Amino acid sequence: MDLYFKCGRVGLAENIFKSIPKSEVVYWNVMISGYVAEGKLFEALALFSEMRKSYVEPDAITCTSVLVACSQLAALEQGKEIHNLIMEKKLDNNEVVMGALLDMYAKCGAVDEAFIVFKCLPERDLVLWTSMITAYGSHGQGYEALELFTEMLQSDVKPDRVSFLAILSACGHSGLVDEGCYYFSQMMNVYGIKPGVEHYSCLIDLLGRTGRLHEAYKILQRNPETRDDVGLLSTLFSACRLHRNIDLGVEIAKILIDKDPDDSSTYILLSNMYASAHKWDEVRKVRSKMKELGLKKNPGCSWIEINQKILPFFVEDNSHLHLELVNKCLSYLTGHMDDESKPFIYHSNVETLRFC
């Protein structure tokens, strides 16, 4: 089964699993971890639920794999269930398990719970420090991330490329421009770490968020490794749209379209940029070009956790059982959004929704 998963032959692994006795936890672990590695996260959680119903006792490997799935789906309630299971099985002394638990809480936005796990760990390696710094940074707690980074340095833990990426990202999410530039310089001049594209991306994003667009563009232009990078140019292009810098935005858009004329996102962002400046003729030209090339926006996918179940849904998906009810409810909500003082009571033959 493990071999088939590593070769991408998921169906063959599933066939073997169906044909063997399932009393051993190792078989379940291979399937769950295989699903997670293949990005089949819903299947991993469903199989874990089936495993519990089969009275097979999970171990550290099981918990780690399921926590990874929970973290990627932001399935906090199921993650908390695994936390209870970890305490019940006395696995809280397993560094790998606790690291996965910290990461799950961090990626689910439960930063306080992540910090409680972090403080309870007797030994904290660079990975754990970085995970906690990332958690603070991802949720706009930039100053807490800076304090923790300083504490890490005082603990004689030497930062690496990933930890610098975490602190730069934290500065970006909190708008700490001077601090971000300082650590970018420290990374190169003090620790001798050559910045990669991902570090430049954080720096460009940071400068872009605060409107220092031309400064960011100059940084890209003077470095041969970043000058033509589509990802970095796209980041700066988005910042141009945010700050309505049409001239620079159009210049970057031309470069992006020249490099990838089939990327619909560039056209969509350019169209939105023109629309924000009320340049409707330009908007029509961009949309006409998209139609000519047969380009359309890829549908977005979201999911929500309800009663410990993960429910995915797509843009323009008309397959939902209660689609008509949902659309009616949204219509009523939209009609009442302009008047917050007006109570909203909506009755249907399926359920009653009350909003006041």
Determine the structural domain holding residue 334 and report its residue range. 318-356
Q: Is pLDDT at 65 greater than 80 in this prediction?
A: yes
Percent of the chain having pLDDT more than 70?
A: 87
Q: Is 202 within a domain?
A: no
pLDDT at 14 over 70: yes
SS3 for 313? strand
Domain boundary (77, 96, 120) is at: 120
Cα 152 to Cα 130: distance, rounded to the nearest angstrom: 9
pLDDT at residue 356, rounded to an integer:
32
**Mean of all residue pLDDT scores within the chain:** 85
Give the number of domains in the chain.
2
C-alpha distance from residue 217 to each of 27, 88, 230, 245 (Å): 52, 54, 13, 12
Asked whether residue 329 is domain-assigned, the answer is yes
Closest C-alpha among 103, 126, 125 to residue 115: 103
Residue with the larger pLDDT of the pair 54 and 279: 54
Per-residue pLDDT, 5: 92
With cut-offs at 50, 70 and 90, classify the pLDDT of residue 250. Answer: confident
pLDDT at 351 over 60: no
Q: What is the DSSP letter of 103?
A: H
Give the pLDDT band (50/70/90) at residue 338. low
Q: Is residue 168 part of a domain?
A: no
Q: Which two tokens stand for residue 298?
A: 């890829």
What mean pLDDT do residues 230-244 have? 86
Token pair belonging to 94: 């397993």
In this prediction, residue 148 has a pLDDT band, given cuts at 50, 70 and 90, of very high
Domain boundary, last residue among 120, 152, 171: 120
**pLDDT of amino acid 79:** 93
Local confidence band at 122 (pLDDT 50, 70, 90 cut-offs): confident
Which region among 29-33, 198-202, 204-208, 331-335 has the lowest average model confidence (pLDDT)?
331-335
pLDDT of residue 309: 64
209 within some domain: no
Does residue 344 surpass a pLDDT of 60? no
pLDDT greater than 80 at residue 314: no
Position 307 pLDDT exceeds 50: yes
- Domain final residue pick, 93, 120, 147: 120
Quick: pLDDT tens for 86-117: 999 999 888 899 999 999 999 898 999 999 99
132 part of a folded domain: no
- The answer to whether position 43 is within a domain reads yes
Is the pLDDT at 149 greater than 90? The verdict is yes
Which among 215, 138, 129 has a CA at the least distance from the CA of 173? 138
Report if residue 4 sits inside a domain.
yes
What is the Cα 285 distance to its own chain's centre? 33
> Is 136 or 331 the better-scoring residue by pLDDT?
136
Cα first-last separation, the chain: 54
Does residue 25 belong to any structural domain of this protein?
yes
Per-residue confidence (pLDDT) for residue 121, from 0 to 100: 87
